[in-house]
């Protein structure tokens, strides 16, 4: 797995359970996954030499992020290593303009969008959609970075004057007045088997995922099935292998695709305890072309709340309190240095009483972050 | 954790989730846990020098087996490292005569037993209990080794003529005509908190655990509570820290303690998927003196079936079949070389229909072992 973050760290457990050799390409020995995985290759995902040396002896390469240049992935494939998802599929998760074109061509519902070259383009698009609108860099954004909501042509002009990441262009999108944000996750294998996880509600704060509720509360069954169908269709049309997360806006009537990720995703962390087969295990099974595991929920509800870095540098010191208060809580810490707002862990709770689960999950996350002290 | 077997391997996942530094003392780089853990110290648990170097910088030492000499553990404690369970508690799991004396003194129900010095002692004990009787070496036995069921004085004479392991003596025990074997697992922390897992049925074949059913089917609630109380009392009386497994005979009326283990135990592997907190996580939480997690079942029934080595050297080749046949199956392979009868992995299934779970679990284990081919 290329990338030594928490997604690779959490993939290590199912790799060990299944007896799958698991090597991680990490930026340093101290990166999240490198702390726990036995087979660590320290190098850069931006270096084809490092990637090639990392790939020696591997059967399959997969990813915990989308940052490897597509041309490098093609070189790895030329070496005879299976790259999953493949470079042409993954490019849709690397470039949002490319993704919008492909989804629109396939008839997948998206917010109205336009490629923007100058302020004139913004003005033209503003006649199609009303203000506010969303401006994005087509590449390089994550966790709210690279995304702006603008209310006027003046604001838009200031945004598109900002420097773009290499290879990126400006993308304008209709601002959907959503009632909730959803995530549809599917796993798909090279031989075409696919499974769809229950549709979940994701709650964002400051552009960062704050909590996830599985299944999405109050979502009519037909819209849940529609969301699963959209994700399955995207996985097939784009030839995705491994986990695909489709972030969706639900305006109460229709669904619109927001973003794609082709890897385990924050919206599926609940599945470690809450699903028969976690997203991490199904990602490994999918990229190895093994039959997929059941994505069924193991409880009526699962709630996952992210632990964001706060004022407390030592997260371990919170253990006595949160574990004594809630013996049913599941804690995952990523071994990352605490910085304000950074995702440094998460908690999951399962049960029948959703309000109770939300209270418990938020309390624990707030206590870890230092926002509350009792 | 001293020992690099599958118990250490399965402890690695909760250690990573909780962000606990986890070093393993393994006999070689290829041992089960050493294949997946980042921090491996290769050495011998029989060498005090290796143990001392392994212990450098550790806060707590615990075990995946009972083989470290007690005197060495006392030396580690003298270095200032917490040893959990402590040497005096652990000695009860290392020496069955010591265990029988302590349990009898504490009023815990045991089969009738006697220390045996010669055939005359066997004859005397035969007047107390009827034939057959059980002969055991007080030390060094496991998985049916070091245990004989004998039907006559002649047979007994031949057994006690066998060489004894160092420091061991002969122990004779009443042969209990049980209706089922049970396992009672508890976790206990240094500050005295304890939690009791549901009582499970263990099914042995040739002295090796074959399958485990949680909770034990048909066990009246009062006898289940009695089994939990016995295990909690033993944990307290012997000052156990970490997981304690108490193997019990149930003759349909009373319970009798068979063996003790002070570590995660084969009878608790179901808890990885089947309990809110697995035995591996609660062992870590207990030895670190963190509040314990809920041991509650997450499904109506959990069934665990061991995969014993058979004719098939490559277990991975079974994956396509067993995973396609049963998407709800959870597979754990230990990365151990396949030898006939050796525990090389296990499968777990959760659900509401116990007969269905048993059929599915046994089928998968048999397929891995090569006993069936479809």
Residue of chain A minimizing CA distance to B315? A19
Q: Which of A159, A174, A189 is the last residue of a domain?
A: A174
Residues A201 and A282 both lie in one domain: yes
Distance CA A72, CA B269 (A): 42
pLDDT for A311 beyond 80 = no
Is there a contact between A12 and B17 if contact means CB atoms under 8 Å apart? no
Q: Is the Cα dihedral A24, A30, A33, A35 positive or negative?
A: positive
pLDDT for A355 beyond 90 = yes
Is there a contact between A294 and B17 if contact means CB atoms under 8 Å apart? no
Instruction: Reduce the DSSP state of residue A62 to 3 states and report it.
Output: coil
Residues B248 and B334 both lie in one domain: yes
pLDDT for B313 equals: 73
Residues A125 and A253 both lie in one domain: no
pLDDT for B20 equals: 96
pLDDT for B323 equals: 97
B320-361 pLDDT, tens digit each: 999 999 999 999 999 999 998 899 999 999 999 999 999 999
pLDDT for B8 beyond 80 = yes
pLDDT for A125 beyond 90 = yes
Judged by CB atoms within 8 Å, which residues 267-286 of A form the interface with B?
276-277, 285
pLDDT for A75 equals: 97
pLDDT for B314 equals: 82
Is there a contact between B37 and A38 if contact means CB atoms under 8 Å apart? yes
What is the nearest CA distance from A184 to chain B, expressed in angstroms?
20
Is there a domain that residue A120 lies in? yes
Q: Best residue in A35, A276, A312 to probe B by mutation, most B CBs within 10 Å? A: A276
Residues B220 and B312 both lie in one domain: yes
Torsion of CA B43, B48, B49, B50, to 10 degrees: 20
Residues A328 and A214 both lie in one domain: yes
Cis peptide before A85 (omega within 30 of 0): yes
Confidence of residue A317 (pLDDT cuts 50, 70, 90): confident
Confidence of residue A371 (pLDDT cuts 50, 70, 90): confident
What is the nearest CA distance from A278 to chain B, expressed in angstroms?
11
- A-chain CB neighbours of B296 within 8 Å are 328
List the single range of B84-88, B140-144, B283-287 with lowest mean pLDDT: B140-144
Average pLDDT over residues B65-81: 95
Do the beta carbons of residue A346 and residue A306 sit within 8 Å? yes
Is there a domain that residue A94 lies in? no
Q: Which of B83, B103, B135 is the last residue of a domain?
A: B83
List the single range of A233-237, A330-334, B164-168, B293-297 with lowest mean pLDDT: B164-168
Q: Which helix (H) or strand (E) holds B235?
A: helix B221-237
Q: Which residues contact B156 (CB under 8 A, 6 or more apart)?
A: B119, B122, B133, B135, B150, B172
Q: Which of A174, A197, A227 is the last residue of a domain?
A: A174
Is there a contact between A16 and B13 if contact means CB atoms under 8 Å apart? yes
Residues B236 and B300 both lie in one domain: yes
ipTM of the complex: 0.95
Is there a domain that residue A21 lies in? yes
- A-chain CB neighbours of B9 within 8 Å are 16
Is there a contact between A16 and B36 if contact means CB atoms under 8 Å apart? yes
pLDDT for A313 beyond 80 = no
Residues A303 and A223 both lie in one domain: yes
Is there a contact between B36 and A18 if contact means CB atoms under 8 Å apart? no
Average pLDDT over residues B193-213: 94
pLDDT for A208 equals: 86
Average pLDDT over residues B92-99: 96
pLDDT for B89 equals: 97
Confidence of residue A247 (pLDDT cuts 50, 70, 90): very high
- In chain B, the percentage of residues whose pLDDT exceeds 90 is 91
- A-chain CB neighbours of B337 within 8 Å are none
Residues A359 and A222 both lie in one domain: yes
Distance CA A40, CA A292 (A): 26
Tell me which residue in A15, A37, A298 faces B298 most closely, judged by beta carbons: A298
Instruction: Reduce the DSSP state of residue A348 to 3 states and report it.
Output: strand
Judged by CB atoms within 8 Å, which residues 17-36 of A form the interface with B?
17-19, 22, 34-36
Is there a contact between A299 and B296 if contact means CB atoms under 8 Å apart? no
Do the beta carbons of residue A368 and residue A317 sit within 8 Å? no
- In chain A, the percentage of residues whose pLDDT exceeds 70 is 99
What value does the mean pLDDT of chain B take?
96
Q: How many CB atoms lie within 10 A of CB A287?
A: 26
Is there a contact between B319 and A276 if contact means CB atoms under 8 Å apart? no
Tell me which residue in A10, A293, A329 faces B327 most closely, judged by beta carbons: A293
Owning domain of residue A57: 6-83
Tell me which residue in A36, A195, A291 faces B16 most closely, judged by beta carbons: A36
Q: Best residue in B291, B350, B368 to probe A by mutation, most A CBs within 10 Å? A: B291
- B-chain CB neighbours of A18 within 8 Å are 319, 331-333
Using the Cβ of A296 and the Cβ atoms of chain B, whether some distance falls under 8 Å is answered with: yes
Distances in Å between the alpha carbon of B358 and those of B305, B347, B371? 8, 11, 16
Q: Best residue in A291, A332, A333, A338 to probe B by mutation, most B CBs within 10 Å? A: A291
Residue in B107, B304, B111 with CA at minimum distance from that of residue B201: B304
Average pLDDT over residues B302-315: 88
List the single range of A203-217, B40-54, B136-150 with lowest mean pLDDT: B136-150
Torsional class of B6: left (φ above 0), alpha (ψ -120 to 50), beta (otherwise): alpha
Is there a domain that residue B323 lies in? yes
Do the beta carbons of residue A109 and residue A173 sit within 8 Å? no
A324-338 pLDDT, tens digit each: 999 999 999 999 999
Using the Cβ of B292 and the Cβ atoms of chain A, whether some distance falls under 8 Å is answered with: yes
Using the Cβ of B40 and the Cβ atoms of chain A, whether some distance falls under 8 Å is answered with: yes
What value does the mean pLDDT of chain A take?
96
pLDDT for A206 equals: 83
What is the nearest CA distance from A181 to chain B, expressed in angstroms?
27
Confidence of residue B149 (pLDDT cuts 50, 70, 90): very high
pLDDT for A293 equals: 98
Place of tokens 């599929």: A89
pLDDT for B35 equals: 98
Is there a contact between A333 and B36 if contact means CB atoms under 8 Å apart? no
What is the nearest CA distance from A102 to chain B, expressed in angstroms?
32
Using the Cβ of A304 and the Cβ atoms of chain B, whether some distance falls under 8 Å is answered with: no
Is there a domain that residue A122 lies in? yes
What is the DSSP pairing of strand A147-150 with strand A133-137?
A: antiparallel
Do the beta carbons of residue B189 and residue B285 sit within 8 Å? yes
Q: Best residue in B38, B278, B300, B360 to probe A by mutation, most A CBs within 10 Å? A: B38
pLDDT for A145 beyond 90 = no
What is the nearest CA distance from B134 to chain A, expressed in angstroms?
37
Average pLDDT over residues A73-102: 97
Average pLDDT over residues A70-82: 96
Do the beta carbons of residue B254 and residue B192 sit within 8 Å? no
Residues B280 and B344 both lie in one domain: yes
pLDDT for A163 beyond 80 = yes
End-to-end alpha carbon distance in chain A? 39
CATH for A42: 3.40.50.20
pTM of the model: 0.96
What is the DSSP pairing of strand B82-83 with strand B60-61?
A: parallel
CATH for B162: 3.30.1490.20
Residues A196 and A64 both lie in one domain: no
Is there a domain that residue B95 lies in? no
Is there a domain that residue A100 lies in? no
Q: What does the DSSP 8-state code read for residue A275? A: B
Is there a domain that residue B92 lies in? no
Q: Is the Cα dihedral B38, B332, B42, B83 positive or negative?
A: positive
Using the Cβ of A195 and the Cβ atoms of chain B, whether some distance falls under 8 Å is answered with: yes
Residues B199 and B163 both lie in one domain: no
Is there a contact between B298 and A350 if contact means CB atoms under 8 Å apart? yes
Average pLDDT over residues A96-115: 97
- A-chain CB neighbours of B195 within 8 Å are 327
Using the Cβ of A313 and the Cβ atoms of chain B, whether some distance falls under 8 Å is answered with: no
- B-chain CB neighbours of A296 within 8 Å are 328
List the single range of B104-113, B118-127, B159-168 with lowest mean pLDDT: B159-168
Distance CA B228, CA B186 (A): 8
What is the nearest CA distance from A254 to chain B, expressed in angstroms?
32
CATH for A272: 3.30.470.20
Number of structural domains chain B divides into: 3
Confidence of residue A207 (pLDDT cuts 50, 70, 90): confident
B257-290 pLDDT, tens digit each: 999 999 999 999 999 999 999 999 999 999 999 9
Residues B166 and B137 both lie in one domain: yes
Residue of chain A minimizing CA distance to B281? A330
Q: Which residues contact B202 (CB under 8 A, 6 or more apart)?
A: B181, B182, B183, B209, B211, B212, B247, B266, B267
What is the nearest CA distance from B202 to chain A, expressed in angstroms?
22
pLDDT for B266 equals: 97
pLDDT for A166 equals: 87
pLDDT for A141 beyond 80 = no
Q: Best residue in A1, A32, A36 to probe B by mutation, most B CBs within 10 Å? A: A36
pLDDT for B315 equals: 85
Using the Cβ of A38 and the Cβ atoms of chain B, whether some distance falls under 8 Å is answered with: yes
Q: Is the Cα dihedral B77, B47, B97, B62 positive or negative?
A: positive
């Amino acid at each position: 797995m290329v990338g030594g973050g928490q997604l690779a760290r959490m993939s290590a457990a199912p790799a060990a359970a299944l007896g799958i050799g698991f090597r991680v390409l990490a930026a340093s020995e101290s990166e999240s996954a490198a702390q726990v995985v036995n087979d660590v290759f320290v190098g850069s995902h931006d270096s084809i030499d490092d990637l090639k040396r990392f790939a020696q002896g591997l059967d399959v390469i997969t990813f915990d992020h989308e940052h490897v240049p597509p041309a490098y992935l093609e070189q790895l494939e030329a070496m005879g290593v299976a790259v999953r998802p493949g470079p042409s599929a993954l490019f849709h998760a690397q470039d949002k303009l490319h993704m919008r074109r492909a989804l629109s061509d396939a008839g997948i519902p998206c917010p109205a969008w336009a490629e923007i070259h100058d302020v004139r383009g913004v003005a033209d698009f503003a006649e199609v959609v009303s203000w506010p609108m969303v401006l994005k860099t087509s590449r390089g954004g994550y966790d709210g970075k690279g995304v702006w909501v603008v209310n006027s042509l003046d604001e838009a002009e200031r945004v598109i004057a900002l420097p773009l990441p290499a290879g990126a262009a400006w993308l304008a999108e209709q601002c959907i007045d959503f009632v909730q944000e959803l995530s549809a996750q599917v796993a798909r294998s090279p031989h075409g088997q696919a499974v769809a996880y229950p549709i979940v509600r994701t709650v964002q704060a400051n552009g960062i995922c704050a909590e996830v509720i599985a299944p999405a509360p109050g979502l009519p069954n037909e819209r849940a099935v529609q969301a699963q169908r959209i994700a399955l269709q995207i996985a097939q049309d784009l030839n995705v292998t491994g986990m695909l997360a489709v972030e969706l806006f639900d305006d109460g009537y229709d669904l619109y695709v927001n973003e794609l990720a082709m890897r385990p995703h924050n919206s599926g962390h609940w599945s470690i305890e809450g699903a028969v087969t976690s997203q991490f295990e199904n990602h490994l099974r999918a990229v190895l072309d093994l039959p997929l595991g059941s994505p069924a929920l193991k409880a009526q509800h699962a709630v996952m709340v992210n632990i964001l870095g706060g004022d407390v540098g030592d997260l371990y010191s919170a253990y006595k309190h949160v574990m004594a208060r809630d013996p049913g809580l599941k804690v995952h810490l990523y071994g990352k240095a605490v910085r304000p707002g950074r995702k440094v862990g998460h908690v999951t709770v399962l049960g029948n009483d959703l309000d109770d689960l939300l209270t418990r999950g938020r309390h624990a996350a707030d206590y870890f972050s230092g926002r509350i002290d009792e």
